[in-house]
Amino acid sequence: MFSRNESEHEDDSSVGSHSVEEELISDDDVEAWMETTQYHKNDREKFIGMFRRVKENDPTFTKLDLCGSSDYVETMNYDSWERLGVIIASNSHLTEFRFGVSYGYFHHARNTVCWHHDRIITLLFQGLTRSDSIEDVSLRNHGFGLDGLRSMVPFLQNSNSLWRLELNDNHLRPQGFRLLLHALRYSPVEQLECDNCGLDSFEIEANAFPKELEILTLQDNGFGVDGLRCLVPLLQNSSYLISLDVSGNNITPEGFSLLFWVFRDSPMEELICGCCGLDSIAIDDAFIPTNLKFLYLYGKYGGRIENSIKADGCREVAKLLLGESATLEILELESNEVDDEGVAILVSALQNNTKVNDLRLDENEGITMVGLKLLLKLVNDASSIKSTLQSNHTLRRLGLSCQSKVELRDEAIKKEIEFAVRLNNENENNPAAAGRKKVIQTQLNSQKRSELCHHLGIGQRKAVLLSEIKPIHLPEVLALISRHHGQGELYAALVPSIAALFSTVNKKQCLQQQKAYHEAKLENIKAEIAVLEEAERLQQKADYHHGTTV
């Protein structure tokens, strides 16, 4: 791979020996360029082919993706970068431009060729001052700063199609973010990603931000609750903002409460506060976001600051799960300090909740067999057929993975939970069908029913199953047992239940059913007789008139 130290480049205008323009014009030059590298020829040809298609304005080529191509772009000289910008600007079909450098290359560039950052971005955007087609730009992990960002301003101001801009892992700093928002104030951009950009605070100008912004990600910028307060004017006045990610910033419980206050009457649907220093949370009933659907509060990731939500935090979160006005669909509490008490609180809130379909409790080592039993009973209560039908049939994902050593019985309970959740998945948007499936697969199967009762600590009585069923439904139930579980299971269900069947289907009940049946038949017969009598009367009347006429 081509490499030089920084001092060798101070007065050198080339990073490599061939320009993109030359590569696109002459096959001989292309081959000469290929000889300067030591990588697979097919890969080099694919790389060069992308530039050819962009320059030729190929209508079938809409995405220029240079991610992972650092070995090739290192050979481009400065003129090539400016020409590349011109070529992209003149293309009327290109909608996506992605240039993300691998961490290894970025680290090398940052420490040995520091001139590369702002200068390359500046040259690229000297040529790319506007585009009528580009909708999605990703320039991640380059390490450029304020100078590079300034060179992008004409493009950002002139682009009428840009809806997504990703600038993760660059050195924007607060001043650069302010410049960025100002440049985008009349832009149609909807998604802005500025993770790990050194934004430890914010300077927000009044009305100087994109008005159509829907998604904003600000992970790992190092701001705390004071920095978050500075961001409030942007959050409050972004009328279309539906997703915010502040993970990896130490906003503390105070910052979390501030976000709920800010979004109480907003269209906000997704809030991501993973690794934000949340050892507890407090939710004011008066400040619950009315449209919140997805809440992510994962506790650990890499070397970030952690969340450590416990039972008291679960009690606060449960407020989002209660009542007909509950909107939450996904709740992530992975890698926190949720224990069996916390599980009990969540289970109680979810018993009658029909909105949450995804609950993530992975890597919470405080959850023991006690908590697992509660979760199993939530999704498939085997204590009776009625209880099974009244279980939660909405949860389609229930994360419980844990790296710590677990007992075999714990794993068995987890499998039963997974089975019930799978039935919910297979009957999405039809909870009645999910309940029916659970009854058929568990209650009508003696072995499965016995295992569930054992896991839940329920004393299973013989014949308890068929004694719950109304006599008029027994034939259908017995047919279901035979059809789904075979003649052996039918025999197993009947033999211990004979006494119960005779005591349930007693003579009085049979006579009452027969009486009702015959009373209904009698009414039908009376109706038929009445019809016949009316017909006879009409016939006699007709015969009388005929005799009088004669």
Assess whether pLDDT exceeds 80 at residue 537.
Answer: yes
Contacts of 337 (CB under 8 A, 6+ apart): 299, 308, 309, 310, 364, 366
Determine contact, residues 325/355, Cβ cutoff 8 Å. Answer: no
- Cα distances (Å, whole numbers) of residue 171 to 118, 140, 149, 275, 479: 10, 11, 9, 22, 70
Query: What is the Cα–Cα distance from 310 to 340, expressed in whole angstroms?
Result: 10
71 and 146 part of one domain? yes
The H or E element that residue 296 is part of is strand 294-296
DSSP readout, 83-138? HHHHHHHH-SS--EEE----HHHHHHHHHH-TTHHHHHHHHHHHH-S--SS--EEE
467 and 549 part of one domain? no
125 and 44 part of one domain? yes
The H or E element that residue 174 is part of is helix 173-183
For the four alpha carbons of 140, 143, 149 and 152, in that order, the dihedral sign comes to: negative
According to the 3-state scheme, what is the secondary structure of 465-491? HHHCCCHHHHHHHHHHHHHHHHHHHHH
Q: What is the pLDDT of residues 139-184, one digit of tens each?
A: 988 788 999 999 999 999 999 999 999 999 999 999 999 999 999 9
For residues 207 and 479, which has the higher predicted lDDT (pLDDT)?
Answer: 207
The three-state secondary structure class of 18 is coil
Determine contact, residues 259/284, Cβ cutoff 8 Å. Answer: no
pLDDT in the model for residue 405? 52
Residue 372 tokens, joined? 């697992």
477 and 535 part of one domain? no
Q: What count of Cα atoms within 13 Å lies in the side-chain half-sphere of residue 56?
A: 12
490 and 519 part of one domain? no
For residues 12 and 126, which has the higher predicted lDDT (pLDDT)?
Answer: 126
Query: What is the Cα–Cα distance from 375 to 335, expressed in whole angstroms?
Result: 18
Query: What is the Cα–Cα distance from 42 to 52, expressed in whole angstroms?
Result: 15
List phi, psi (to 5°) of 65.
-115, 105
20 and 77 part of one domain? yes
Q: Please report whether residue 75 resides in a domain.
A: yes
CATH of the domain at 63: 3.80.10
pLDDT in the model for residue 16? 40
Q: Please report whether residue 363 resides in a domain.
A: no
533 and 466 part of one domain? no
pLDDT in the model for residue 398? 96
Q: Please report whether residue 92 resides in a domain.
A: yes
89 and 150 part of one domain? yes
101 and 120 part of one domain? yes
Amino acid at 381: D
Q: Please report whether residue 132 resides in a domain.
A: yes
Q: Please report whether residue 342 resides in a domain.
A: no
510 and 486 part of one domain? no
- Of 118, 146, 171, which marks where a domain is finished? 171
Determine contact, residues 296/243, Cβ cutoff 8 Å. Answer: no
Q: Containing domain of residue 519, as a range?
A: 506-550
Query: What is the Cα–Cα distance from 349 to 343, expressed in whole angstroms?
Result: 10
The single-letter DSSP state of residue 441 is I
pLDDT in the model for residue 500? 44
**Rounded mean pLDDT of 499-513?**
57
The single-letter DSSP state of residue 224 is B
Q: Please report whether residue 215 resides in a domain.
A: no
In the chain, the percentage of residues whose pLDDT exceeds 90 is 51
Q: What is the pLDDT of residues 79-117, one digit of tens each?
A: 778 888 888 999 999 999 998 765 444 443 443 334 457
Give residue for tokens 């009349």: 186
Compute the C-alpha angle 240/244/248, nearest 5°. 165
Assess whether pLDDT exceeds 80 at residue 239.
Answer: yes
pLDDT in the model for residue 120? 86
Query: What is the Cα–Cα distance from 411 to 369, expressed in whole angstroms?
Result: 9
Lowest mean pLDDT among 310-324, 332-346, 490-504: 490-504
Helices (H), 353-497: 369-379, 385-389, 408-426, 431-438, 446-456, 464-467, 474-494
For residues 167 and 406, which has the higher predicted lDDT (pLDDT)?
Answer: 167
According to the 3-state scheme, what is the secondary structure of 22-75? HHHHCHHHHHHHHHCCCCCHHHHHHHHHHHHHHHCCCCCCCEEECCCCHHHHCC
Q: How many domains does the chain have?
A: 3
Compute the C-alpha angle 231/234/239, nearest 5°. 145
Q: Which of 456-460, 502-506, 546-550 has the highest mean pLDDT?
A: 456-460
- Of 153, 171, 189, which marks where a domain is finished? 171
Q: Please report whether residue 214 resides in a domain.
A: no
The H or E element that residue 399 is part of is strand 397-399
530 and 471 part of one domain? no
- Of 171, 198, 231, which marks where a domain is finished? 171
Give residue for tokens 């009414």: 523
474 and 515 part of one domain? no
**Rounded mean pLDDT of 444-450?**
76
Query: What is the Cα–Cα distance from 329 to 295, expressed in whole angstroms?
Result: 8
Q: Please report whether residue 513 resides in a domain.
A: yes
Determine contact, residues 326/293, Cβ cutoff 8 Å. Answer: no
The single-letter DSSP state of residue 533 is H
